[in-house]
């Protein structure tokens, strides 16, 4: 009997403990559940606050952007108070020009093929107070109603963009520019209002988003110079009588080939350091032509370099160092060092012989050239005219100027002043926008 009572009591105690444990577990679960619910509610509230702040910020940013856009529009269009302007003009004896219907002509994005001799011009790019190629071009465009008065003042309105810049004295055989133009154009009449050393040989309709600089995937430059530039530095020949030996010509070609490929050209421009990613450029080919005689009986060669893009002074420095190597002023070891992180003192060849030869649009042509709407930008139909112009105005100027002024001979006498060794570091440019041409 006692054992039976003891057993019942033990079972009762165990059951009580079990019930207490179950109650405790249930309370813990309830507390955890309440905590989880509270956390979820707090997170939802936080997310809602963040979303509200984001929406408010976007609205504020949108308002700021809209205000800035309107400011740019007002600045670009140059809105004026015409009533006040008329009163001022009347006081000065002036009268507002009547509305020009040409301002309402529909204009479409076009690519123009431009050739020019850079002699006597301060480069391609417009520069207030300076005689430039673009200034002559824009004046003729305004006269023939190709662009409006507003576009003449701010060519960005007409979406003008050149494929490559050229510096003072540098010419272009096949420069390409993009700009919005009327559909009906009289090219012959237009060219009559340009100086004879500037000509537009072709205009092609292009896609709305076409940009002459951005769509260009390669550029080819030529550099024409007398062969005496490659004579040994102690050679006593005259410029008119010198004829380059075949083995020296082979040395020229071998030296130029060292530039090919993707390399760091920070030494061949100004104010770029070795770590600047934009100092790396891809040279596809660099060749030398067979020698030929100019009308003045001076022997010349033409160097041709094709690359994706070039930096300020890059080609002229590449040519300058190649000349110094072939002449014996330095060795190919200097060229190898120039492509490393060292900062070297290198010569820069004169600008006279440099010509922008061709601007390449292979990718654009592959995509749009045969779509039935647009033509490929190869300018094959204009090639004969371009060749005649280049021979008459560009190369003839190079031959004549070299024979009369002896630019190359004067420059050769300065090669021994260069150390071809380490020089002090230049301050790097803050704005490292990719250059669109050799200057």
pLDDT tens-digit readout, 239-286: 999 999 999 999 999 999 999 999 999 999 998 999 999 999 999 999
- Average pLDDT over every residue of 217-221: 97
Q: Pick from 108, 106, 133, 103: which is nearest to 118 by CA?
A: 133
Average pLDDT of every residue of the chain: 87
What sign has the CA pseudo-torsion 63, 66, 68, 70?
A: negative
Q: Is the pLDDT of residue 379 over 80?
A: yes
Strand partners for 180:
109
Q: What share of the chain is helix, strand, coil (3-state, %, to 5)?
A: 45, 15, 35
Q: Is the pLDDT of residue 303 over 80?
A: yes
Q: Pick from 213, 334, 339: which is nearest to 281 by CA?
A: 339
Say what the pLDDT of residue 434 is.
44
- Structural domains present in the chain: 106-205 (3.30.70.580), 218-361+380-417 (3.30.70.660)
The length of the chain, given as a count of residues: 439
Number of other CB atoms surrounding residue 164 within 10 Å: 24
Return the higher-pLDDT residue of 36 and 299: 299
Task: State residue 429 phi and psi, 5-degree precision.
Answer: -70, 140
Whether the Cβ atoms of residue 385 and residue 202 lie closer than 8 Å to each other: no
Whether the Cβ atoms of residue 112 and residue 202 lie closer than 8 Å to each other: yes
Please, which pLDDT band fits residue 234 given cuts at 50, 70 and 90? confident
Residue 393 tokens read as: 């105005």
- Average pLDDT over every residue of 88-94: 75
Please, which pLDDT band fits residue 432 given cuts at 50, 70 and 90? very low
Supply the DSSP symbol for 157. Answer: G
Query: Considering the entire predicted model, what is its pTM?
Result: 0.76
What does the DSSP assignment read for 211-274? -TTTT--EEEEEEEEEGGGGS-TT----TTT----HHHHHHHHHHHHTT-EEEE-GGGSSS--T
Say what the pLDDT of residue 97 is.
57
Annotated binding-site residues for substrate read 221
Annotated binding-site residues read 221
- Average pLDDT over every residue of 104-123: 93
Residue 388 tokens read as: 């005649």
Residue 2 tokens read as: 């006692």
Q: Pick from 122, 212, 125: which is nearest to 161 by CA?
A: 212
* Strands of 297-425, DSSP E: 299-307, 354-360
Task: List the catalytic residue out of 86, 89, 167, 366.
Answer: 167
Number of other CB atoms surrounding residue 231 within 10 Å: 22
- Determine whether 167 is an active site residue: yes
Rounded Cα distance between 292 and 133, Å, is 30
- Summarize pLDDT for 141-172 with one digit per residue, the tens: 999 999 999 899 999 999 999 999 999 999 99
Q: Is the pLDDT of residue 25 over 90?
A: no
């Amino acid at each position: 009997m006692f054992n039976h009572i003891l057993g019942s009591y033990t079972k009762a105690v165990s059951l009580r403990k079990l019930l207490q444990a179950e109650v405790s577990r249930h309370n813990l679960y309830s507390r955890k559940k309440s905590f989880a619910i509270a956390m979820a509610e707090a997170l939802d509230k936080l997310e809602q606050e963040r979303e509200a702040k984001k929406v408010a910020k976007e609205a504020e940013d949108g308002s700021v952007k809209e205000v800035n856009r309107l400011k740019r529009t007002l600045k670009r269009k140059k809105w004026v108070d015409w009533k006040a302007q008329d009163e001022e003009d009347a006081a000065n004896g002036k009268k507002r020009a009547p509305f020009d219907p040409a301002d309402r002509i529909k204009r479409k994005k076009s690519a123009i093929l431009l050739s020019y001799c850079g002699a006597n011009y301060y480069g391609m790019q417009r520069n207030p107070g300076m005689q430039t190629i673009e200034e002559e071009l824009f004046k003729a465009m305004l006269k023939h109603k190709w662009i409006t008065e507003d576009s003449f003042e701010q060519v960005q309105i007409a979406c003008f963009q050149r494929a490559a810049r050229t510096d003072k004295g540098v010419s272009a055989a096949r420069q390409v520019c993009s700009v919005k133009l009327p559909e009906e154009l009289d090219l012959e009449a237009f060219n009559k209002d340009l100086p004879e050393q500037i000509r537009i040989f072709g205009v092609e309709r292009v896609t709305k988003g076409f940009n002459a600089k951005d769509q260009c995937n390669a550029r080819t430059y030529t550099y024409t110079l007398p062969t005496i530039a490659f004579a040994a530095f102690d050679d006593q020949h005259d410029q008119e009588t010198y004829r380059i030996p075949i083995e020296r010509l082979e040395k020229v070609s071998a030296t130029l080939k060292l530039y090919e490929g993707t390399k760091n050209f920070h030494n061949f421009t100004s104010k770029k350091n070795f770590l600047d990613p934009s100092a790396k450029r891809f040279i596809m080919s660099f060749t030398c032509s067979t020698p030929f005689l100019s009308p003045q009986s001076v022997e010349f060669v033409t160097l041709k370099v094709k690359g994706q893009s070039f930096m300020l002074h890059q080609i002229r420095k590449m040519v300058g160092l190649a000349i110094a190597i072939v002449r014996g002023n330095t060795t190919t070891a200097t060229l190898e060092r120039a492509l490393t992180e060292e900062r070297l003192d290198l010569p820069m060849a004169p600008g006279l012989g440099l010509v922008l030869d061709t601007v390449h649009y292979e990718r654009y042509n592959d995509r749009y050239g045969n779509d039935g709407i647009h033509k490929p930008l190869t300018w094959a139909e204009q090639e004969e005219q371009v060749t005649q112009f280049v021979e008459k105005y560009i190369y003839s100027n190079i031959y004549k100027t070299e024979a009369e002024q002896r630019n190359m001979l004067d420059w050769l006498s300065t090669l021994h002043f260069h150390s071809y060794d380490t020089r002090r570091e230049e301050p790097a440019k803050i704005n490292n926008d990719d250059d669109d041409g050799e200057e």
